[in-house]
C-alpha cells in the first residue's frame, strides 16, 4: 500500500480515497492538514467541506485542531520563519497573498464549518430537506431510548407471558436484555428467518418484533426520535437516484472527509455512499485494527467493503507517538498479525522518536512481560480472584518502585499522571484501584462511568427506603451503614437499640427536610452533621463525595421535573440502578485526577497516550456463549435470537475473538515509552487477547487463533513459547514476584498557612433582575443586591383581583370569561394558548381547544378545554383600538407576530435608579397624559431608590407588525387576565373602560413594564430592521385585558374599545430611556 504524502498531489475531484492509519500515526493531523491545504490552494472554501467523526468529543477536538492549523498556517504566511512543520513551509512557499486571503476568510467564517458527528450531520441535512427528508420540526431528539424500551418491555411482557406465572418461556431479565439488543442494533437482520412454531427462538423473535413495532408507535405518539432514526430517515431520503437529497448534498459539500471510519455501521455508510460517492471528493480515514465498537453498532465488514471499492488506498506510515525502541519490540509481536482476517493486518511503521525517552527506571526495558508461575509441573489453572489479588499487589509494587526512583521521561521526572493502567472489565479495574490505594499510590478510575452503579447511588437508595419506613430496624440500620451516617458493623452492634432509635429520629427529620425543600436539603443536613470531613478522611473519599453530590442533583432534578414524592423517587432510583442507560447525565463526574495513576478501560483509552502503560489482565478474557449472537452471514450483519446453533455460536465467538485481538492492539499502542504486561495460567487464559498473540502462535505466524491450544499448559511449556518471542526481540520476560518498595518521600505540608482576608468591597447594588424583580425589591426594603432572579414557573405580574375606585361605565356587555377561573395558573394557560394558536386557522374554536388541551397538562384549571376555547374566540374579534386601526387579533397571523421575545441586556454601569426614569417620564409626558402621574410614583419611595445596575431580563408576550398610516409599525402587546369586576356583580365590558384600565395600570406599575418593553423593542428593531427610525416604526404598547374583550360587540368610547388599553410613549422618551439604561 502506498504511503500517504501530505505534500503530494491532492485527491482527484469526485474520487474516493481511503487513508489507513495505524495507532499514533497522526490521522487527525493529516486530516487537519488536508483541510488547510485545500483551503489555502483554492480547491474549496471551508464551508464547502463536510468533516464527519463519530463522537462529540472527537468532533470538538477535530474542530479545534483544524482551526489551530489554519491559524498556524496564517502565521507562517506572514512570517515564514514561524513555519512549524513541512506542511506550513509548503503552504507559504508560493502565492502567499492569495493563500493568506483564503485562510483569513476561512478563519473569519469558521463557525459556519460543518464539523460534526454522523448524527449531527444527518440532523442538519434532514432539517434542510424539510418534507423531502421526512423531517418533522415538532419532534424531540433524545439521547437514549432506554427508559421507553423498559416501559415497552414491562407492558409487552405481561401481554406475552402474563399467563405463564410459574415458568415463563422467556424470563423478564432475558426479555429486557433481548429488547435492548435488538433496539441497539438497528442495522442488523434478525435470525432465524423461519423458526419452528412455538420454539424458544420463535418466542424470542416474536417478542423482539413486537418490541420494535411498539417502539415506533410510541416514538411517534411521544414526538421523539433516537439518533439511529436520523440515519434511517436520511438513508430513505437518499434511496432514489433522483431524490432531492442526492442532488443537494454534493452541491452543498463537494469535499467530504470521514474520520474514525472503521467505526461506521452499514446505514452510516449507506448514507455516505449514496450521497457522495462519485459526486464529491470523498476521503475516508480510519484504522481497521482499532475497530472495537461492535457492541455500539460499529461494523468492520462495512469498512472493508468500502475500502475495497475505493479508487485509491494509502497508508500513514510514521508513528509520532511511541519511541523507536518500543515500536521495534511491539512490531516483533504485532507485525503482520491478522486481527480479524487478511484485510486487517498490522503494517510496519517508522518511529519519529528515535531511541528511548524513558531513562533511569528500575526496569527500563520498553516491553516487559511479567509471568506468574505455579512453581510445579502441573497444568491446573489458577483462580482469577487469587490472580487479581497477586497481580494487583505486583502492579502496585512495580509502580511504587518506579515513582520512588529517579526515572525520567523526555527529561522530566516520571509522575503518577504519566502512568495508565488499561483493563477490559470493571472488576479488574477495581482490583487495581484497591491495590494502588492500599499501597498509598494516588489513582483514579475513569472507566466505571455509570453513577447509578456507584456506592453513592446505593447509599441514596438505602436512605430513601428508610425514609419510607423509619419504623423498620433493618432499614434504619442499613441507612446507618451508609456514608450519610458512617456506622460500621462494630458500632452498630455496640450501639444496639439506642443507636437505632437515634438514627431513626434523624431519618424522620431528614425526610421532613426532603419533603419541604427537596433532597438537596438532606445532603446539606448530612454535611452539617459531619459527613464531609468523615468521608474525605478515607481513601477514595473525594470520589465518593463527587458521586454523592452528582446523585443528589439527579434526584433533585427528577423530583422537580416529574413531580415525584419520596416513594416515587425511591422507585425511580431503584429502576435506574437495576438497568443501564445511555444518557450523558449518568456518566460519573471526574474527581481530582491530575496527579494520579489513570485506570481505565480499553474503550476509554482509545485516542489517548501515556508514557508508561500497564496491562495487568490482557492475558485473560471471560467468553460465555453469547445469546443473542451477533455475527455475519454472507456479509450481512445478523442478530440470532433464541438459542443459536453451534455453528452460529462459533461464528459469533470468532468475531468476538477478532474484536478482542483489536482491543489488545489498542491497549498496547497507547504507550509512548514502555508497556508492562502480565501473563498467568487462569482458566480463561486461552481466550485472552495477549495470550492468543503470544502463546497461541509462533513468531512469524500471521494468523491469530480464536483460542489457544492446548487449553491448559504447564509452566515449562508456557515459558518456552513466551521465550521464543523474547528471543525474536519481543518482550523481556520477568518473574512476577511482589518486591517491597520504599514509597517516594511525601512533601511535608506547610505549617505557616493562614486564611486569606477579603479586603475589597462587594457592590451590593448589582443584580440580575426584571420588571417583576424591581417591584418585589421595592416592596421588601430588606432585599439586598448581588442577587439573581428566581426561576418563575408561572406568571408573577398579574394581580387577579384589583379594587378600583372608578365606577363601571357604559354598556354592560357580559364578559365571555366571567365564569372562568382566576389566578396565576389560569393566566399562564391563556398566555401559552395565545402564543401557539394559529389565529388564521379555518376553525379557530377547534384550534384554540386543541391548544388548551395541550397546555392544560402543565397549567391545569377547573374548566374544560371547550369552555376556555369558546371564551377565547371573542377576544380575537375585538377591535385593537387606535394603535392598530381596523385590526383584530384574528386578522394578524403568526407570520406578523413575534411571540415570547426573550431578552437580557446589561444595565448602566453608573449609579442610576428608577428615580432617574421618573424624571425622564415627567419631562416627556404632558400633564393631561393619563399616565403622567406615574412619574411621581417612580421618583419617590422605595421604588424610586431601586438601582439600575446588573442585568435586566424578561419576555414580551408578543410584538405585532401592523400597517398604520401608510407605514409598517411594530406594537408591543401584553395579555392580562386581571379581574376588574366589582363585588359579586356579573363581570361585563363596563368593568374594563379606559378610566378603570388606567387605574389598574397605575396600581400594578404596568407603565414601568410598558416602558422597559418599549426599550427592548427599540433595541431589537435597531439591530434587525434596515432603515429603522423610532418615530416611524415604534407603534406603542397595547395591554389586552382579555376578560373585557367581548368580540365585535365590545363597547368603544372615543376610539378605545373596552379591555384594550393603548399607549404610545413618545419615541424620544424611549430612546433616552434606552441610553439611560446603558445603551451600547
C-alpha Rg value of the chain to the nearest Å: 36
CA 705 to each of CA 137, 340, 714: distance values in angstroms, whole numbers, following the listed order: 51, 10, 20
Q: 3-state class of 948 per DSSP?
A: coil
Question: Do 610 and 683 share a domain, yes or no?
Answer: yes
CA–CA separation, 968 vs 150, rounded Å? 55
Within 8 A by CB and 6+ apart from 727, the residues are: none
> Is residue 641 one of the residues assigned to a domain?
no
Task: State the Cα torsion 627-633-637-640 to the nearest 10°.
Answer: -20
CB under 8 Å to 654, separation ≥6 — which residues? 706
| Closest-CA residue to 447 (of 459, 435, 429) | 429
- 3-state SS of 745-757? CCCCCCCCCCCCC
Q: Are residues 410 and 482 in the same domain?
A: no
The total number of structural domains that make up the chain: 5
Beta pairing class for 949-964 and 967-976? antiparallel
Q: Which regions in the chain score pLDDT beneath 70?
A: 129-138, 446-449, 579-594, 744-747, 780-803, 909-910, 1079-1080
Residues 563 and 611 in one domain: no
Three-state SS string across 473-542, please?
Answer: HHHHHHHHCCCCCCCCHHHHHHHHHHHHHHHHHHHHHHHHHHHHHCCHHHHHHHHHCCHHHHHHCCCCHH
Contact present, 697 and 704 (Cβ < 8 Å): yes
Going by C-beta distance under 8 Å and a sequence separation of 6 or more, which residues neighbour residue 795? Answer: 824, 827, 828, 831
173, 383, 555, 568 from 572: Cα distances, Å: 18, 38, 9, 6
Q: Is residue 299 part of a domain?
A: yes
Q: Are residues 657 and 520 in the same domain?
A: no
- How far lies 926's CA from each of 577, 923, 1013, 1064, 1065, in Å? 68, 8, 21, 13, 11
Q: What does the alpha-carbon distance between residue 465 and residue 557 come to, in Å, rounded to a whole number?
A: 19
Amino acid 791: pLDDT: 39
Strand-strand pairing, 443-445 and 16-20: unpaired
Q: Of 316, 335, 361, which residue is a domain's last?
A: 316
**What is the C-alpha separation between 552 and 559, in angstroms, rounded?**
10
Q: Is residue 34 domain-shared with residue 150, that is, in the same domain?
A: no
Give the per-residue pLDDT at 1067. Answer: 97
242: exposed, middle or buried (Cβ count in 10 Å: 0-12, 13-18, 19+): exposed
Q: Is residue 640 part of a domain?
A: no
Return binding residues for ATP: 21-28
CATH for 499: 1.10.486.10
pLDDT attached to residue 404:
93
Residues belonging to the binding site for Mg(2+) are 831, 957, 974
Q: How many whole angstroms separate alpha carbon 12 and alpha carbon 15? A: 5
User: Closest Cα to residue 122, out of 303, 310, 221, 270?
Assistant: 270
Among 301, 255, 278, which residue's Cα sits nearest to residue 31? 255
List the beta strands (DSSP E) in 584-728. 597-601, 610-615, 629-633, 636-640, 671-679
Look at residue 864 in the predicted model and tell me its pLDDT: 95
Query: Would you state the torsion angle of the CA atoms of residues 560, 562, 563, 569, taken in this order, to the nearest 10 degrees?
Result: -90
DSSP bridge partners of 189 = 638
How high is the pLDDT of residue 66? Answer: 94
Catalytically active residues are: 974
Contact 264, 18 (CB under 8 A): no
- Please, which residues have CB within 8 angstroms of residue 479's CB and are 6 or more apart in sequence? 462, 463, 465, 466, 485, 503, 507
Query: 432 and 459 share a domain?
Result: no
Supply the CATH number for residue 695's domain. 3.40.50.300
Sorted by sequence, the CB contacts under 8 Å of residue 134 that are 6+ apart come out as 126, 233, 236, 237
| Residue 873 sits in the same domain as residue 990 | yes
Q: Identify the domain containing residue 34 by its residue range.
A: 2-134+231-316
Distance, CA of 320 to CA of 528 (rounded, Å): 52
**Three-state DSSP class for residue 131:** helix
3-state secondary structure of 899: strand
Q: Are residues 1016 and 872 in the same domain?
A: yes
Indicate if 605 and 728 belong to the same structural domain. yes
The total of other beta-carbon atoms located within 10 Å of residue 765's CB is 15
| Same domain assignment for residues 923 and 883 | yes
Q: How far apart are CA 530 and CA 551, in angstroms?
A: 19
- Residue ranges for the known binding site are 21-28, 831, 957, 974
- Which residues does residue 610 pair with via DSSP β-bridges, in sequence order? 671
Please say whether the beta carbons of 951 and 769 come within 8 A. yes
Cβ–Cβ contacts within 10 Å for residue 406, how many? 10
Taking the C-alpha atoms of residue 413 and residue 407, their distance in angstroms, rounded to an integer, is 6
Domain endpoint, select from 270, 295, 316? 316
**430 near 616, Cβ under 8 Å?**
no
Does any domain span residue 767?
Answer: no
The length of the chain in residues reads 1080
Shared domain check, 555 and 421: no
Are 358 and 673 in contact by the 8 Å Cβ rule? The answer is yes
Do the beta carbons of residue 1015 and residue 837 sit within 8 Å? Answer: no
Q: Has residue 161 been placed in a domain?
A: yes
Give the integer Cα–Cα distance in Å for 736 and 371: 5
Asked if the structure places residue 639 within a domain, the reply is no
Question: How far apart are the C-alpha atoms of 89 and 474, rounded to whole Å?
Answer: 74
Residue that is last in its domain, among 688, 717, 735: 735
**Are the beta carbons of 161 and 151 closer than 8 angstroms?**
no
Tell me whether residue 323 is in a domain: no
Res 769: pLDDT: 84
In a domain, 898, yes or no: yes
Are 312 and 277 part of one and the same domain?
yes
Amino acid at each position: 500500500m502506498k504511503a500517504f504524502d501530505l505534500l503530494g498531489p491532492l485527491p482527484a475531484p469526485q474520487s474516493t480515497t481511503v487513508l489507513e492509519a495505524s495507532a499514533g500515526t497522526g490521522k487527525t493531523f493529516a486530516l487537519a492538514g488536508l483541510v488547510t491545504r485545500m483551503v489555502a490552494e483554492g480547491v474549496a472554501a471551508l464551508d464547502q467541506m463536510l468533516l464527519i467523526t463519530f463522537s462529540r468529543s472527537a468532533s470538538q477536538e477535530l474542530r479545534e485542531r483544524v482551526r489551530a492549523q489554519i491559524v498556524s498556517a496564517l502565521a507562517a504566511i506572514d512570517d515564514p520563519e514561524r513555519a512549524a512543520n513541512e506542511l506550513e513551509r509548503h503552504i507559504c512557499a508560493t502565492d502567499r497573498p492569495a493563500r493568506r486571503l483564503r485562510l483569513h476568510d476561512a478563519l473569519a467564517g469558521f463557525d459556519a464549518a460543518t464539523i460534526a458527528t454522523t448524527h449531527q450531520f444527518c440532523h442538519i441535512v434532514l432539517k434542510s430537506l424539510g418534507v423531502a427528508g421526512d423531517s418533522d420540526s415538532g419532534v424531540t431528539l433524545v439521547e437514549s431510548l432506554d427508559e421507553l424500551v423498559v416501559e415497552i418491555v414491562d407492558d409487552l411482557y405481561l401481554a406475552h407471558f402474563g399467563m405463564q406465572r410459574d415458568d415463563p418461556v422467556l424470563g423478564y431479565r432475558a426479555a429486557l436484555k433481548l429488547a435492548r439488543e435488538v433496539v441497539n442494533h438497528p442495522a442488523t437482520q434478525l435470525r432465524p428467518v423461519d423458526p419452528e412454531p412455538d420454539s424458544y427462538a420463535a418466542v424470542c423473535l416474536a417478542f423482539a418484533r413486537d418490541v420494535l413495532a411498539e417502539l415506533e408507535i410510541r416514538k411517534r405518539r411521544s414526538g421523539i426520535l433516537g439518533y439511529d432514526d436520523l440515519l434511517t430517515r436520511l438513508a430513505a431520503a437518499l434511496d432514489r437516484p433522483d431524490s432531492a437529497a442526492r442532488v443537494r448534498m454534493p452541491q452543498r459539500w463537494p469535499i467530504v472527509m470521514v474520520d474514525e471510519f472503521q467505526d461506521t455501521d452499514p446505514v452510516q455508510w449507506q448514507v455516505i455512499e449514496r450521497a457522495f460517492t462519485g459526486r464529491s471528493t470523498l476521503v475516508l480515514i480510519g484504522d481497521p485494527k482499532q475497530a472495537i465498537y461492535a457492541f455500539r453498532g460499529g461494523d468492520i465488514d462495512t469498512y472493508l467493503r468500502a475500502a475495497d471499492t475505493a479508487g485509491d488506498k494509502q497508508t500513514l506510515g510514521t508513528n509520532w507517538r511511541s519511541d523507536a525502541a518500543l515500536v521495534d519490540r511491539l512490531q516483533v509481536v504485532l507485525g503482520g498479525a491478522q486481527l480479524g482476517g487478511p484485510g486487517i493486518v498490522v503494517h510496519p511503521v517508522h518511529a519519529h522518536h528515535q531511541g528511548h525517552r524513558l531513562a533511569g527506571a528500575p526496569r527500563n526495558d520498553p516491553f516487559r512481560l511479567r509471568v506468574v508461575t505455579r512453581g510445579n509441573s502441573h497444568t491446573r489453572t489458577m483462580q482469577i480472584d487469587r490472580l487479581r489479588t497477586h497481580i494487583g499487589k505486583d502492579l502496585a509494587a512495580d509502580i511504587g518502585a518506579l515513582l520512588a526512583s529517579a526515572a525520567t521521561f523526555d527529561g522530566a521526572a516520571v509522575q503518577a499522571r504519566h502512568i495508565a493502567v488499561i483493563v477490559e472489565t470493571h472488576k479488574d479495574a477495581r482490583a487495581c484501584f484497591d491495590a494502588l490505594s492500599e499501597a498509598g499510590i494516588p489513582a483514579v478510575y475513569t472507566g466505571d462511568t455509570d453513577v447509578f452503579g456507584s456506592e453513592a447511588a446505593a447509599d441514596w437508595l438505602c436512605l430513601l427506603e428508610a425514609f419510607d419506613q423509619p419504623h423498620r430496624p433493618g432499614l434504619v440500620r442499613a441507612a446507618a451503614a451508609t456514608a450519610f451516617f458512617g456506622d460500621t458493623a462494630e458500632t452498630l452492634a455496640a450501639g444496639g437499640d439506642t443507636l437505632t432509635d437515634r438514627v431513626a429520629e434523624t431519618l424522620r427529620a431528614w425526610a421532613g427536610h426532603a419533603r419541604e425543600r427537596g433532597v438537596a436539603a438532606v445532603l446539606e443536613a448530612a454535611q452539617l452533621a459531619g459527613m464531609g470531613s468523615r468521608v474525605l478522611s478515607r481513601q477514595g473519599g473525594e470520589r465518593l463525595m463527587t458521586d454523592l453530590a452528582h446523585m443528589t442533583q439527579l434526584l433533585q432534578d427528577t423530583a422537580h421535573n416529574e413531580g415525584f414524592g419520596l416513594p416515587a423517587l425511591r422507585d425511580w432510583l431503584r429502576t435506574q440502578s437495576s438497568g443501564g442507560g445511555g444518557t450523558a447525565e449518568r456518566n460519573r463526574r471526574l474527581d481530582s485526577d491530575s496527579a494520579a495513576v489513570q485506570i481505565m478501560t480499553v474503550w476509554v483509552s482509545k485516542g489517548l497516550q501515556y508514557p508508561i502503560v500497564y496491562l495487568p489482565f490482557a492475558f485473560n478474557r471471560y467468553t460465555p456463549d453469547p445469546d443473542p449472537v451477533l455475527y455475519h452471514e454472507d456479509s450481512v450483519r445478523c442478530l440470532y435470537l433464541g438459542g443459536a446453533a453451534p455453528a452460529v455460536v462459533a461464528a459469533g465467538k470468532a468475531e468476538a475473538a477478532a474484536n478482542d485481538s483489536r482491543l489488545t492492539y489498542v491497549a498496547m499502542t497507547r504507550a509512548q515509552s514502555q508497556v508492562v504486561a502480565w501473563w498467568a495460567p487462569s482458566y480463561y487464559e486461552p481466550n485472552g487477547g495477549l495470550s492468543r498473540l503470544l502463546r497461541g502462535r509462533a513468531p512469524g505466524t500471521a494468523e491469530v487463533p480464536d483460542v489457544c491450544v492446548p487449553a491448559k499448559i504447564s509452566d515449562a511449556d508456557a515459558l518456552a513459547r513466551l521465550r521464543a518471542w523474547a528471543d525474536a526481540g519481543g518482550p523481556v520476560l520477568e518473574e512476577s514476584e511482589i518486591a517491597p518498595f520504599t514509597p517516594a518521600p511525601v512533601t511535608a505540608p506547610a505549617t505557616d498557612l493562614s486564611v486569606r482576608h477579603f479586603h475589597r468591597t462587594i457592590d451590593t447594588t448589582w443584580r440580575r433582575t426584571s420588571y417583576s424583580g424591581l417591584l418585589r425589591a421595592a416592596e421588601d426594603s430588606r432585599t439586598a443586591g448581588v442577587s439573581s432572579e428566581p426561576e418563575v414557573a408561572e406568571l408573577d405580574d398579574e394581580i387577579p383581583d384589583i379594587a378600583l375606585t372608578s365606577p363601571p361605565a357604559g354598556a354592560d356587555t357580559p364578559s365571555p370569561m366571567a365564569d372562568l377561573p382566576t389566578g396565576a395558573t389560569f393566566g399562564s394557560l391563556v398566555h401559552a394558548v395565545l402564543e401557539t394558536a394559529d389565529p388564521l386557522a379555518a376553525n379557530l374554536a377547534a384550534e384554540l381547544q386543541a391548544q388548551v388541551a395541550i397546555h392544560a397538562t402543565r397549567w391545569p384549571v377547573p374548566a374544560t378545554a371547550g369552555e376556555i376555547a369558546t371564551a377565547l374566540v371573542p377576544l380575537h374579534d375585538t377591535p385593537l383600538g387606535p394603535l392598530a386601526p381596523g385590526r383584530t387579533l384574528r386578522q394578524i397571523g403568526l407570520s406578523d407576530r413575534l411571540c415570547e421575545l426573550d431578552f437580557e441586556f446589561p444595565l448602566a454601569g453608573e449609579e442610576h435608579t428608577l428615580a432617574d426614569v421618573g424624571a425622564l417620564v415627567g419631562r416627556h409626558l404632558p400633564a393631561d397624559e393619563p399616565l403622567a402621574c406615574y412619574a411621581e410614583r417612580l421618583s419617590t419611595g422605595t421604588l424610586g431608590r431601586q438601582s439600575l445596575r446588573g442585568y435586566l431580563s424578561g419576555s414580551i408576550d408578543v410584538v405585532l407588525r401592523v400597517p398604520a398610516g401608510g407605514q409598517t409599525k411594530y406594537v408591543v402587546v401584553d395579555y392580562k387576565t386581571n379581574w376588574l369586576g366589582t363585588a359579586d356583580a356579573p363581570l361585563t365590558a363596563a368593568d374594563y373602560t379606559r378610566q378603570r384600565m388606567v387605574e389598574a395600570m397605575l396600581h400594578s406599575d404596568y407603565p414601568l413594564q410598558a416602558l422597559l418593553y418599549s426599550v427592548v423593542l427599540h433595541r431589537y428593531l435597531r439591530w434587525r430592521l434596515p432603515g429603522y427610525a423610532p418615530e416611524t416604526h415604534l407603534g406603542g404598547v397595547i395591554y389586552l385585558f382579555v376578560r373585557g374583550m367581548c368580540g365585535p360587540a365590545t363597547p368603544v368610547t372615543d376610539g378605545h374599545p373596552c379591555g384594550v388599553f393603548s399607549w404610545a410613549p413618545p419615541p424620544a422618551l424611549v430612546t433616552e430611556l434606552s441610553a439611560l439604561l446603558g445603551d451600547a
